[in-house]
Amino acid sequence: VDIAIVGFGGVGRALLELIYDKKDDLASEGLDLNLKYVINSRGGTYNPKGIDLMNFINFTGENRDLNSYQGKGSKPASFDDIIQNKDVDMVIEMTPSNLDHGEPGLSHISRALAKGIHVITANKGPILLAYDKLQDLARENGVKLGIGCTTGGALPSVNAGLIDLAGSKITSIEGILNGTSNFILEEMENNGLDYDLALKKAQEFGIAETDPSMDISGLDTGTKLLILTNVLMGENKTLDDIELVGIDSIDLDQVREMAGQNKRYKLIGRSIRTEEGLSISVKPELVDRDNLFYNVNGKDKVVRYISDTLGDLTIIGGASGVRPAAASILRDLINMFREGV
């Protein structure tokens, strides 16, 4: 399978390392991944015969100017070359998530799909804003769109809903969908760190988004919850339809006081359909020891679905971080390959 990587930041780099580390496992699947393009905001590199992974990984350890990569047979390239040459089976799109207009990811994804190239993306913006249109485009062009990384990285969430709850009507989605805020709350409770220090630690661990305000304000949780709601509950909601409260509304004293009562705050996203309609919210909630979410700690996340015919399903885990996020992209890729891509 010939691939192009678009957006070579933390997740992109982790993905290349993972493909290298897992090459024997991939080969045993019959999957031979041939990397032809890597593109970032300033340009990129292209090798029609395939880029030497280790050589490229070593080069980019010290140099972010991909145009200047001198690997044998490699030349400078841009995203347009991927579209014009049409010599890859799959584009893996990992540029920053923009929730207002979805760019540059939205154009990358639509142009690749329109050219009959499969796409896997980690980018929440285009999926939040245009999932239905992109799916239609994929269908019209006989290709697939993988979005497993957009709703909690390694946590099986949107794919579990699509695959394992197929045929049921989902009436409720609840979750802790942001590892950074969950990690911060735990650091406040267990290590007595104030909010700023806990955030700094999350950044040192590389789990916070490039702009951590998205994690803290509940916007990241809201985005993931909306994608799940729109994709799995057949809705077409926007961020304006959500009540959004972040963890910045809680201080260390409150966390300590509640810990004394065996309760803890969790940032919970919730979409619930009742006879009155659908309510969608993201806010810190107090949970006690009996609640399933009480022990979802550290970088972990959780999603809980209630459906009419397949019952009540809770999935816990999916630690945050660039390697687990990259692994969730590889998971989509392997599953597409198994389905015959």
Q: Looking at beta carbons only, is 185 or 219 nearer to ligand NAP? A: 219
The region of 34-42, 189-197, 279-287, 302-310 touching ligand NAP under the rule CB under 6 A is 34-42
Q: Binding to ligand NAP by residue 149, rule CB under 6 A?
A: yes
Cβ at position 153, least distance to ligand NAP in Å: 4
Out of 36, 124, 224, 266, the active site residue is 224
**Which residue from 67, 191, 210, 213 is in contact with ligand NAP, where contact means CB under 6 A?**
210
For the chain, the maximum distance between any two Cα atoms, rounded to a whole number of angstroms, is: 64
Q: Which stretch binds ligand NAP (CB under 6 A): 21-29, 89-97, 188-196, 236-244?
A: 89-97
Contact stretch for ligand NAP (CB under 6 A) within 2-10, 25-33, 54-62, 84-92: 2-10
For 155-170, give the DSSP string: S--HHIIIIITTTSPE
Q: Which stretch binds ligand NAP (CB under 6 A): 5-13, 67-75, 161-169, 269-277?
A: 5-13
DSSP symbol at 218 = S
For ligand NAP, the binding residue among 16, 26, 35, 39 (CB under 6 A) is 39
Which of 335, 341, 325 lies closest to 121, judged by CA? 325
Residue 71 lies near ligand NAP (rule: CB under 6 A)? no
What CA–CA distances, in Å, run from 140 to 135, 210, 325? 9, 34, 29
Q: Is 23 a catalytic residue?
A: no
Kindly write out the interface string for residues 313-332 of this chain, putting x where it contacts ligand NAP by CB under 6 A and - elsewhere: -------xxx--x-------
Residue of the chain from 45, 60, 97, 230 that contacts ligand NAP (CB under 6 A):
97
Count of alpha carbons within 13 angstroms of residue 273, beta-carbon side = 15
Region of residue 262 (left: phi > 0; alpha: psi -120 to 50; beta: else): left
- Residue 225's Cβ-side half-sphere holds a number of Cα atoms within 13 Å equal to 34
Instruction: Select from 3, 7, 265, 282 the one that contacts ligand NAP (CB under 6 A).
Output: 7
* DSSP percent split of the chain into helix, strand, coil, nearest 5: 45, 20, 35
Say how far apart CA 222 and CA 268 lie, in whole Å: 9
Give, rounded to a whole angstrom, the gap between the first and last alpha carbons of the chain. 9
Residues taking part in catalysis? 224
Q: Which residues bind ligand NAP (CB under 6 A)?
A: 6-12, 39-42, 64, 94-97, 104, 122-124, 149, 153, 210, 320-322, 325
